[in-house]
Chains A and B, each alone.
Chain A
Amino acid sequence: MMLAARTRAEIEHTRRRYPHPRSAIMPSLWAVQHELGWLPPEAMAEVAELLGLAPSEVQAVATFYSMYFKRPPGRHHILVCVNAACALRGADETAAHIEQRLGCPSGTTTADGMFTWESTIECLGGCGGAPMMQVDHHFEEHLTPERIDAILARVAAQPADHRDWPPARVPNPPASTTPPPPTAEGPPSAGAAG
């Protein structure tokens, strides 16, 4: 048994919310990830045991979804959308800026273990605030190099206790319907051009 009593209790609790315990796999995996930061096989086996399933069934589910980590990530996780709508407004430049700032390529963790970042082709539903990213699951929209730097500095100062992860929300300055700040230059125009 590697899971904290609290996590086990949470799994027991979610299990009762559904007509079939199998439905509790995903919420349970979230509970595990919030405790440990990722999903080690032993934890999957423990979830399976708590739900009365074969461990392979839990693994099959855990590996299907992109948000469950099969390896331990850094303290904070950054996801940059580079799908079409964001790309039109400069997502590649955003990604390049982050890569340069963090000094490590997409899909990796900074040497100090502070950030894991990746650019994703999965549209994150922030097209109205493009370019955008998610930091520890929070939307950060209308990104500019300056805003990115500010966000990175702010987040680095926050603790990353996965148990209470993600940390309290700091509201985005612009609401999703508000137009982007009128900048003379703005992000490079032919955003989608490679």
Chain B
Amino acid sequence: MTEASTPAPDDGRVEVTIDGRVTRAPRGQLVLDAAAAVGVHIPIYCAHPKMDPVAVCRMCLVQVEKMPKLQPACATYVSEGMVVQTQTVPVAKAREGVLEFLLLNHPLDCPVCDRGGECDLQDFTLRYGPETSRMPITDKVHFDKAVPLSDKIELDQERCILCWRCTRYYEEITGEKEIVLQERGVHTSVATFDSRPLRSAFQGNLPEICPVGALTHRQYRFVARPWDLQRARSVCPECSYGCNINIDSREYEVKRFASRDNPLVDDMWLCDRGRYSAPRWNRTDRVRRPVVRAQGGDQEVSAQNAVREAGRRLREVRDQHGANAIGVIGSVECTNEEAWLLQRLAREAIGTTHLDHQLDPFPGLSPEEHALGIAEIEDCSAVVVLGARPEQQAPVLTLRLFKAQRKRGTAVHRLPVDVDGATLRGITGGRLVGVIADEVDRPQAAHVAQLLAGGNTEVRRLTVTRGVNGRGCKDLGLLPNLLPGYRPAPGAGRCGTEILEATGAGQVRALVIMGSHPWAAAAGVLLTGALNAADLVVAIETQPGPVAQAATVLIPGHTHVEKAGTVTNLEGRVQRIRQALPPATTVPTELRVLSMLAAELGCERWPAETVAVDREVSATLPAYAVAGNGGRTRWPVPVP
């Protein structure tokens, strides 16, 4: 200690001692986080990693040397030489005191509370709390119980410990200010204006940030106990934003989608459309058995026989009419592995040039269309959002825009798609400007980006692709005109719409369809016409529908929650999905079915496991090797 006065080189860190553990913590870090970093747990209620400190619950009080009073770890920043104690008698007494206060007016309804088992009030009371209450039960302050705040959220005022997280959520995260505090003192409660229902598109995050059971999902009321749930780490199936989720299931049913923080993508928030889509995956009208339609009527067969039959009939069409008489259409719900094998099947095993994953033609992708990462929005001085579609398609984008606005002062300009040049010239540049547009508005976005660029201003674009893996399907060349990695395909074939048209017109005689439901409704009569005209329809479908009904060979497919693999979000981040439910069918995975089918068509030894396919993908597209790193890297679109 004698020569300690020699100043340490300033590495932006300070030395702090927490419960005797000496560490160098980044300047500006909260004591709470510095403690966590050295393995010291400090209980919290009001503190939240995504919100500004308010220090209202006083649960995190710790002893800081040279300070006369205990200090809230959630709002105290580390400083050089700070010595913190979290295990002393005064700290223990303070924690016990705070818990007694919080429980004073808290009801004793843990047995019927949806939060039971994942409630911080229960947990910390067990660890740090008093054993009994000294408050006569008759003296408790009563509030309304189980008040619906909307069709999604229910509020139990009595359970509320007034941690301010929900009000801060509306203030700091969505900016909508729907929930506020009213009255004061012990009569304080959270409320909406004039008790009107919540309208936010992000209500489902409320029960997750609530540390107790005050805000609960109406959808999940009395549904399950957390310890009975099985959890699978996955990605939300609803849009291309790629929010990370946990799929919680029990007894072969999805019970809920819970958020899983990926600071680079969702920042731990989900939109209601995605979150509350959970029950959709429990639908019972499923294709369960392989069927071969023959003259004598439908016949249930084994998967092997179905594939064998499909192979035989495809060979027949190819022999009679040539490979280009076969069209292959996948969907944006194909995983990367499926998309990879499907385009290989089309190109290599069948030999056709007509393949796609959607209906509309996709003229091509240039690197700058996806140059802007989601998290980089926060680095922009200004962001132009063209039209309402981007935020309709990928709602959580709105929260990122608001965060950038609030924390970095990013100017967010929501402009019509056909915005005029004069308006754009009014936007002051800065170093980095973002342009966000929907996939269908790419030409306009290119135009806008061009007008905004110049001087010291760099413009980066973010294109909102459609569907959970629309981006991956494109990256992997499930397109008529582009090979994996956006290399131009020789002899570009027909896009989805054109394949259906050509089938109706008799030019294409056989269809291989995998997962039609994302586009079947939009295809309408075009699809019906094609199905009627086709000699052969080989379909891998999860649900009944026109395609399943018309299929000559029908093979059951697996839904998003029944399969494993990777999907790529709109900014090019490859993320893993995992199986959450046992499949509704005993048929092998799509990967295996596709490789079996390839074998029938004369291509032996294709990979049929996710890992093996991934290895193959990354051999062609090295950037896809990042799939293994938990979605931390996005891959840049290669310059063609």
Contacts and interface: CB of A to CB of B under 8 A. Distances in A.
A106 interface: no
A57 interface: yes
Interface in B147-188: 176-184
A54 B178 CA distance: 8
A41 B176 CA distance: 19
A45 B195 CA distance: 13
B212 to A, nearest CB: 21
B193 interface: yes
B420 interface: no
A64 B184 contact: yes
B180 A59 contact: yes
Contact of B183 (A44, A45, A64): A64
A63 B178 CA distance: 16
A5 interface: no
Contacts of A64: 181-184
Chain B interface size, as a band, is: 10 to 19
Contacts of B193: 41, 44-45, 54-56, 59
A33 B194 CA distance: 18
B177 A54 contact: yes
Contacts of B191: 56, 59
A59 B195 CA distance: 11
A55 B182 contact: no
A135 B193 CA distance: 31
Contacts of B178: 54, 56
B183 A56 contact: no
A57 B183 contact: no
Q: Which of B181, B193, B194 has the most CB of A within 10 A?
A: B193
Contacts of B183: 63-64
A60 B182 contact: yes
B192 interface: yes
B181 A55 contact: no
B184 A56 contact: no
A54 B184 CA distance: 20
B196 to A, nearest CB: 9
Contacts of A45: 193-194
Nearest to B181: A60
Contacts of B182: 59-60, 63-64
Nearest to A41: B194
Contacts of B184: 63-64
Contacts of A57: 177, 180
Contacts, number: 36
A126 B371 CA distance: 68
A51 to B, nearest CB: 13
A60 B181 CA distance: 6
Interface in A25-66: 41, 44-45, 54-57, 59-60, 63-64
A41 B193 CA distance: 8
A44 B195 CA distance: 13
A141 B182 CA distance: 33
Q: Which of A41, A44, A56, A64 has the most CB of B within 10 A?
A: A56
A63 B194 CA distance: 11
A64 B167 CA distance: 15
Nearest to B178: A56
A68 to B, nearest CB: 11
Contacts of A54: 176-178, 193
Contacts of A63: 182-184
A44 B180 CA distance: 14
Contact of B179 (A41, A44, A55, A56): A56
Contacts of B177: 54, 56-57
Nearest to B170: A56
A60 B168 CA distance: 13
A59 B183 CA distance: 9
A55 B182 CA distance: 12
A41 B196 CA distance: 11
A3 to B, nearest CB: 16
Contacts of B176: 54
Nearest to A40: B194
A63 B185 CA distance: 11
Nearest to A54: B177
Interface in A61-101: 63-64
A167 to B, nearest CB: 30
A44 B182 CA distance: 13
Contacts of B194: 41, 44-45, 55, 59
A57 B181 CA distance: 9
A57 B184 CA distance: 14
Interface string B189-217: 00111100000000000000000000000
A45 B181 CA distance: 16
Interface string A97-112: 0000000000000000
A99 to B, nearest CB: 24
Contacts of A60: 180-182
A119 B98 CA distance: 32
A63 B179 CA distance: 14
Nearest to A63: B182
Nearest to A53: B177
A66 B182 CA distance: 12
A74 to B, nearest CB: 22
Contacts of B181: 60, 64
Contacts of A56: 177-180, 191-193
A60 B183 CA distance: 7
A98 to B, nearest CB: 25
A46 to B, nearest CB: 12
Nearest to A59: B193
Contacts of B179: 56
Interface in B584-612: none
A187 B184 CA distance: 34
Q: Which of B179, B184, B192, B194 has the most CB of A within 10 A?
A: B194
Given A54-B176, A56-B191, A59-B182, 19 more contacts: A41-B193, A41-B194, A44-B194, A45-B193, A45-B194, A54-B178, A54-B193, A56-B178, A56-B193, A57-B177, A59-B180, A59-B191, A59-B194, A60-B180, A60-B182, A63-B182, A63-B184, A64-B181, A64-B183
30 contacts: A41-B193, A44-B193, A45-B194, A54-B177, A54-B178, A54-B193, A55-B193, A55-B194, A56-B177, A56-B178, A56-B179, A56-B180, A56-B191, A56-B192, A56-B193, A57-B177, A57-B180, A59-B191, A59-B193, A59-B194, A60-B180, A60-B181, A60-B182, A63-B182, A63-B183, A63-B184, A64-B181, A64-B182, A64-B183, A64-B184
Interface of A: 41, 44-45, 54-57, 59-60, 63-64
What are the nearest 4 A-B pairs in CB distance? A60-B180, A56-B193, A41-B194, A63-B182
